[in-house]
Amino acid sequence: MNPLLSTEGLTVHYGGVRANTGISITADAGEVVGLIGPNGAGKTTFVDAVTGFTPAQGTVTVAGRRVDTLAPHQRRRAGLARTWQAGELFLDLTVRQNIAVAAGRRPLRNLWNDLTGRREATHETDAVMAMFGLEPVADRRPGELSLGRQKIVGVARALAGTVRVVLLDEPAAGLDTDESAAFGEHVRTIAGSGPAVLLIDHDMTLVAGICDRVYVLDYGAVIATGTPAEVLADPAVRTAYLGSELVP
Protein backbone atom coordinates (compact mmCIF):
# COMPACT_ATOMS: atom_id res chain seq x y z
CA MET A 1 0.00 0.00 0.00
CA ASN A 2 1.35 3.45 -0.91
CA PRO A 3 1.49 5.88 2.00
CA LEU A 4 -0.98 8.78 1.94
CA LEU A 5 1.80 11.17 2.94
CA SER A 6 5.46 10.82 2.19
CA THR A 7 8.30 13.32 2.35
CA GLU A 8 11.80 12.80 0.98
CA GLY A 9 14.72 14.89 2.11
CA LEU A 10 12.66 17.87 3.27
CA THR A 11 15.10 20.65 4.11
CA VAL A 12 14.43 24.19 5.35
CA HIS A 13 16.94 26.96 6.01
CA TYR A 14 16.06 30.14 7.88
CA GLY A 15 19.10 32.28 7.12
CA GLY A 16 21.94 30.41 8.81
CA VAL A 17 19.59 28.14 10.79
CA ARG A 18 18.98 24.67 9.39
CA ALA A 19 15.49 24.17 10.80
CA ASN A 20 14.83 20.90 8.90
CA THR A 21 17.56 18.67 7.48
CA GLY A 22 16.60 15.95 5.00
CA ILE A 23 13.43 14.78 6.74
CA SER A 24 11.86 11.67 5.17
CA ILE A 25 8.70 10.28 6.70
CA THR A 26 5.61 8.32 5.68
CA ALA A 27 2.07 8.07 7.04
CA ASP A 28 -0.49 5.52 5.88
CA ALA A 29 -4.25 5.73 5.67
CA GLY A 30 -5.80 5.25 9.09
CA GLU A 31 -2.50 5.72 10.87
CA VAL A 32 -1.75 8.21 13.66
CA VAL A 33 1.92 9.13 13.35
CA GLY A 34 3.55 11.22 16.06
CA LEU A 35 6.21 13.88 15.48
CA ILE A 36 7.93 14.79 18.72
CA GLY A 37 11.12 16.49 19.81
CA PRO A 38 12.39 19.15 22.21
CA ASN A 39 11.52 22.84 21.79
CA GLY A 40 13.04 24.24 18.62
CA ALA A 41 13.63 20.78 17.11
CA GLY A 42 11.87 21.81 13.88
CA LYS A 43 8.40 20.29 14.22
CA THR A 44 6.33 23.34 13.24
CA THR A 45 8.82 24.13 10.47
CA PHE A 46 8.17 20.64 9.09
CA VAL A 47 4.39 21.20 9.10
CA ASP A 48 4.92 24.58 7.39
CA ALA A 49 7.18 22.95 4.78
CA VAL A 50 4.77 20.08 4.06
CA THR A 51 1.78 22.40 3.73
CA GLY A 52 3.65 24.99 1.64
CA PHE A 53 3.80 27.83 4.15
CA THR A 54 7.59 27.95 4.08
CA PRO A 55 9.96 27.30 1.16
CA ALA A 56 11.64 23.89 1.33
CA GLN A 57 13.81 21.56 -0.69
CA GLY A 58 12.81 17.92 -1.07
CA THR A 59 9.57 16.25 -2.08
CA VAL A 60 6.09 16.00 -0.58
CA THR A 61 3.71 13.38 -1.97
CA VAL A 62 0.03 13.08 -1.05
CA ALA A 63 -1.82 9.96 -2.20
CA GLY A 64 0.79 9.37 -4.89
CA ARG A 65 0.76 12.96 -6.21
CA ARG A 66 3.72 15.32 -5.86
CA VAL A 67 2.48 18.55 -4.24
CA ASP A 68 5.72 20.29 -3.31
CA THR A 69 5.53 22.81 -6.18
CA LEU A 70 1.96 23.77 -5.30
CA ALA A 71 0.76 26.79 -3.31
CA PRO A 72 -0.74 26.13 0.14
CA HIS A 73 -4.36 26.43 -1.06
CA GLN A 74 -3.66 23.99 -3.90
CA ARG A 75 -2.12 21.52 -1.44
CA ARG A 76 -5.25 21.92 0.69
CA ARG A 77 -7.36 21.02 -2.35
CA ALA A 78 -5.15 17.96 -2.84
CA GLY A 79 -6.28 16.85 0.62
CA LEU A 80 -3.54 18.21 2.88
CA ALA A 81 -5.09 19.86 5.94
CA ARG A 82 -3.53 21.36 9.06
CA THR A 83 -4.28 23.05 12.32
CA TRP A 84 -2.32 26.01 13.70
CA GLN A 85 -0.55 26.16 17.05
CA ALA A 86 -2.25 29.40 18.01
CA GLY A 87 -5.71 28.27 16.93
CA GLU A 88 -7.45 29.88 14.01
CA LEU A 89 -11.11 30.21 14.92
CA PHE A 90 -13.14 33.26 13.93
CA LEU A 91 -14.38 34.47 17.29
CA ASP A 92 -17.30 36.44 15.84
CA LEU A 93 -18.69 33.42 13.98
CA THR A 94 -20.61 30.51 15.43
CA VAL A 95 -19.16 27.02 15.55
CA ARG A 96 -21.24 26.05 12.51
CA GLN A 97 -20.09 29.12 10.57
CA ASN A 98 -16.46 28.48 11.47
CA ILE A 99 -16.70 25.00 10.01
CA ALA A 100 -18.87 25.94 7.03
CA VAL A 101 -16.44 28.66 5.95
CA ALA A 102 -13.57 26.20 6.11
CA ALA A 103 -15.54 23.62 4.13
CA GLY A 104 -14.84 25.89 1.18
CA ARG A 105 -18.08 25.30 -0.70
CA ARG A 106 -19.99 28.47 -1.34
CA PRO A 107 -18.82 29.85 1.99
CA LEU A 108 -20.61 33.18 1.60
CA ARG A 109 -23.83 31.38 0.76
CA ASN A 110 -23.42 29.17 3.82
CA LEU A 111 -22.75 32.22 5.95
CA TRP A 112 -25.78 34.00 4.49
CA ASN A 113 -27.96 30.96 5.16
CA ASP A 114 -26.74 30.76 8.71
CA LEU A 115 -27.18 34.49 9.30
CA THR A 116 -30.72 34.34 7.94
CA GLY A 117 -31.56 31.19 9.85
CA ARG A 118 -31.69 28.97 6.78
CA ARG A 119 -30.19 25.57 7.21
CA GLU A 120 -28.49 24.67 3.97
CA ALA A 121 -25.07 23.87 5.35
CA THR A 122 -23.04 21.54 3.22
CA HIS A 123 -22.92 17.86 3.86
CA GLU A 124 -19.32 18.30 4.89
CA THR A 125 -20.23 20.74 7.62
CA ASP A 126 -22.95 18.54 9.07
CA ALA A 127 -20.86 15.39 8.79
CA VAL A 128 -17.92 16.96 10.54
CA MET A 129 -20.10 18.46 13.28
CA ALA A 130 -21.70 15.07 13.88
CA MET A 131 -18.32 13.34 13.96
CA PHE A 132 -17.18 15.57 16.81
CA GLY A 133 -20.52 15.82 18.62
CA LEU A 134 -20.66 19.57 18.01
CA GLU A 135 -24.37 19.87 17.13
CA PRO A 136 -25.38 21.03 20.63
CA VAL A 137 -22.99 23.98 20.40
CA ALA A 138 -23.48 24.70 16.68
CA ASP A 139 -24.86 28.19 17.28
CA ARG A 140 -22.47 29.20 20.04
CA ARG A 141 -19.38 31.31 19.52
CA PRO A 142 -15.94 29.84 20.30
CA GLY A 143 -15.43 32.14 23.32
CA GLU A 144 -18.45 30.54 25.03
CA LEU A 145 -16.89 27.07 24.87
CA SER A 146 -14.35 25.31 27.08
CA LEU A 147 -10.79 25.27 25.78
CA GLY A 148 -11.17 21.55 25.04
CA ARG A 149 -14.23 22.17 22.88
CA GLN A 150 -12.49 25.05 21.11
CA LYS A 151 -9.61 22.76 20.22
CA ILE A 152 -12.04 20.24 18.81
CA VAL A 153 -13.72 22.94 16.71
CA GLY A 154 -10.25 23.82 15.38
CA VAL A 155 -9.64 20.23 14.33
CA ALA A 156 -13.17 19.97 12.89
CA ARG A 157 -12.44 23.05 10.81
CA ALA A 158 -9.28 21.46 9.45
CA LEU A 159 -11.24 18.34 8.51
CA ALA A 160 -14.05 20.09 6.65
CA GLY A 161 -13.86 19.34 2.94
CA THR A 162 -11.70 16.67 1.36
CA VAL A 163 -8.94 15.48 3.66
CA ARG A 164 -6.39 12.80 2.95
CA VAL A 165 -3.77 13.89 5.43
CA VAL A 166 -4.22 16.08 8.50
CA LEU A 167 -1.32 17.63 10.39
CA LEU A 168 -2.21 18.57 13.96
CA ASP A 169 0.26 21.06 15.45
CA GLU A 170 0.06 20.82 19.24
CA PRO A 171 -3.72 20.44 19.18
CA ALA A 172 -3.95 19.44 22.84
CA ALA A 173 -1.78 22.22 24.31
CA GLY A 174 -3.43 23.67 27.40
CA LEU A 175 -5.89 20.82 27.90
CA ASP A 176 -6.14 19.06 31.26
CA THR A 177 -5.63 15.31 31.55
CA ASP A 178 -9.28 14.36 31.03
CA GLU A 179 -9.75 16.76 28.12
CA SER A 180 -6.56 15.49 26.53
CA ALA A 181 -7.72 11.86 26.82
CA ALA A 182 -11.09 12.73 25.26
CA PHE A 183 -9.27 14.64 22.56
CA GLY A 184 -7.11 11.60 21.84
CA GLU A 185 -10.20 9.52 21.21
CA HIS A 186 -11.34 12.05 18.62
CA VAL A 187 -7.97 11.85 16.89
CA ARG A 188 -8.26 8.05 16.69
CA THR A 189 -11.78 8.47 15.28
CA ILE A 190 -10.43 10.78 12.58
CA ALA A 191 -7.80 8.23 11.56
CA GLY A 192 -10.43 5.49 11.67
CA SER A 193 -12.44 7.41 9.07
CA GLY A 194 -9.60 7.14 6.53
CA PRO A 195 -7.03 9.95 6.56
CA ALA A 196 -3.45 9.73 7.74
CA VAL A 197 -2.90 11.84 10.88
CA LEU A 198 0.39 13.48 11.82
CA LEU A 199 0.27 14.56 15.46
CA ILE A 200 2.74 16.99 17.00
CA ASP A 201 2.46 17.24 20.74
CA HIS A 202 4.56 17.58 23.86
CA ASP A 203 2.08 15.51 25.89
CA MET A 204 3.84 12.12 25.95
CA THR A 205 0.87 10.40 27.55
CA LEU A 206 -1.29 11.47 24.61
CA VAL A 207 1.37 10.58 22.03
CA ALA A 208 2.13 7.19 23.56
CA GLY A 209 -1.59 6.48 23.98
CA ILE A 210 -2.76 7.09 20.42
CA CYS A 211 0.20 6.98 18.00
CA ASP A 212 0.95 3.89 15.94
CA ARG A 213 4.44 5.13 15.12
CA VAL A 214 6.54 8.10 16.17
CA TYR A 215 9.35 10.11 14.58
CA VAL A 216 11.64 12.03 16.90
CA LEU A 217 13.31 15.25 15.70
CA ASP A 218 16.30 16.92 17.24
CA TYR A 219 18.12 19.89 15.72
CA GLY A 220 15.99 19.56 12.58
CA ALA A 221 16.77 15.90 11.83
CA VAL A 222 15.06 12.57 12.54
CA ILE A 223 17.02 10.85 15.32
CA ALA A 224 14.68 7.92 16.02
CA THR A 225 11.56 6.22 14.71
CA GLY A 226 9.45 3.31 15.90
CA THR A 227 6.55 2.55 18.18
CA PRO A 228 6.06 4.98 21.09
CA ALA A 229 7.58 2.44 23.49
CA GLU A 230 10.60 1.91 21.23
CA VAL A 231 11.43 5.59 20.78
CA LEU A 232 10.85 6.49 24.43
CA ALA A 233 13.36 3.79 25.42
CA ASP A 234 15.91 4.98 22.85
CA PRO A 235 19.04 6.43 24.55
CA ALA A 236 19.44 9.08 21.79
CA VAL A 237 15.90 10.30 22.47
CA ARG A 238 16.47 10.43 26.21
CA THR A 239 19.66 12.40 25.66
CA ALA A 240 17.86 14.84 23.33
CA TYR A 241 15.30 15.52 26.04
CA LEU A 242 17.90 15.77 28.83
CA GLY A 243 17.29 18.75 31.06
CA SER A 244 13.78 19.17 29.76
CA GLU A 245 10.74 18.84 31.99
CA LEU A 246 9.23 16.92 29.08
CA VAL A 247 11.49 13.90 29.67
CA PRO A 248 9.36 10.94 28.63
Ligand X SMILES: Nc1ncnc2c1ncn2[C@@H]1O[C@H](COP(=O)(O)OP(=O)(O)OP(=O)(O)O)[C@@H](O)[C@H]1O
Binding site residues, ligand X, CB under 6 A: 14, 17, 19, 37, 39-45
- Residue 39 or residue 116: which is nearer to ligand X going by CB? 39
- Residue 37 or residue 171: which is nearer to ligand X going by CB? 37
Instruction: Give how far Cα 219 sits from Cα of 41, 99, 115, Å.
Output: 5, 36, 48
- Cβ distance 2 to 24 under 8 Å? no
Spatial CA neighbour of 202 closest among 38, 88, 49: 38
- Cβ distance 81 to 159 under 8 Å? yes
CB of 219 to ligand X, least distance (A): 8
CB of 19 to ligand X, least distance (A): 4
- Residue 88 or residue 139: which is nearer to ligand X going by CB? 88
CB of 180 to ligand X, least distance (A): 17
Phi-psi region of 122 (alpha: psi -120 to 50; beta: other; left: phi over 0): beta
- Residue 17 or residue 71: which is nearer to ligand X going by CB? 17
CB of 205 to ligand X, least distance (A): 17
CB of 108 to ligand X, least distance (A): 33
Angle at 34 between CA 30 and CA 37, to 5 degrees: 170
- Residue 19 or residue 165: which is nearer to ligand X going by CB? 19
For residue 39, how many other CB atoms are within 10 A of its CB? 8
Rounded Cα–Cα distance for residues 36 and 165 (Å): 18
Rg (CA), the chain: 18
